[in-house]
Amino acid sequence: MTALLNQKTFDSSAISNGYVQAYITRYEREVNTLSSTTIRERTNYHPHLSATGNITTQDSVLRYYTGLIFNPNLSSGASHKAYLGVDFTKTEGGLSYNLAAIGYLNPDPEYYSKLTGTISQQLGLGRNPANNLNLSAGVNYAIDAANSYVNVGARANLGNVAIGTTYYIPTGMPNSIRNLVSTNASWKISDGLVLSGYYTPVDNNAARSPFGASASIRLGSNIYSPTLSLSWNRNEIDLGTNNNTRSSIADNVFSIYLRFDAPPNSST
């Protein structure tokens, strides 16, 4: 028997005290990392002075208003915001439509000038007036912000349960939002307890909220008793692609607040 070492051949019979050595190397490498980020936000409340008036008939309301939002922190570069607006609503049987316009001096993404219009038709489902189908369409032309849209929707009210869906149609309007389909449902368990939620199966916008849920609990038997509201929303922001890697951030927003002097379905 022969052995080969450094390109030289040896007769194994001439080798004494031979042995074999083997070893295994084990090492660890950090592949996945887990990181978390905490974001703290500060909300500033500014004084708001407003005046409004309306002309009301049996089937229509014309409302006009103006106001001024004060910003005492002038060092931030922001300034006071003045606005002027008008809206008109008319109902004829099951048909209802609304036209509105508002203009802001020194607008921002939250307070911006826009033109809006909506139209809806309610259709009865059977003899029970609590069962109906509401078909709607709307347009929002945002002059100073990036959320113009045209939408169509349907909502079925079946007693204490309501289910709806809305499709936001991509348009050629300036500052238009992208393709979006949203669904929602609510259940009025009792006069003082309402559960609701939404799910967005299609949303091609960079900032989106795919799903969320809320509960409204009235703390008393009177319709003007304080209302406790709980909500949870999932928010996501697509940061785009960098070096062939797509990045995004997501957070869960939980809210709890008390509401006084207004029924749960009030708009004020």
User: What is the residue extent of each domain of the chain?
Assistant: 47-172, 178-268
Confidence at residue 266, expressed as pLDDT on a 0 to 100 scale: 47
Provide the pLDDT for residue 106: 86
Provide the token pair at 254: 């939980």
DSSP code, position 176: B
The three-state secondary structure class of 14 is helix
pLDDT in the model for residue 213: 97
Q: What is the pTM of this model?
A: 0.70
Which secondary structure element, helix H or strand E, spans residue 2, and what is its range?
Answer: strand 2-5
Inter-residue contact 63 to 57 (CB < 8 Å): no
Which residues are bridge partners to 248 per DSSP?
238
Tally of CA atoms within 13 A in the half-sphere of 149 that contains its CB: 18
Q: Torsion over CA of 68, 72, 75 and 76, rounded to 10 degrees? A: -60
d(C-alpha 248, C-alpha 205), whole Å:
12
With a cut of 50, list the residues of the chain below it in pLDDT: 264-268
Task: Please tell me the predicted confidence (pLDDT) of residue 268.
Answer: 38
Give the Cα separation of 25 and 50 in Å (integer).
76
Q: Which long-range CB contacts under 8 A does 27-34 form with residues at least 24 apart?
A: none
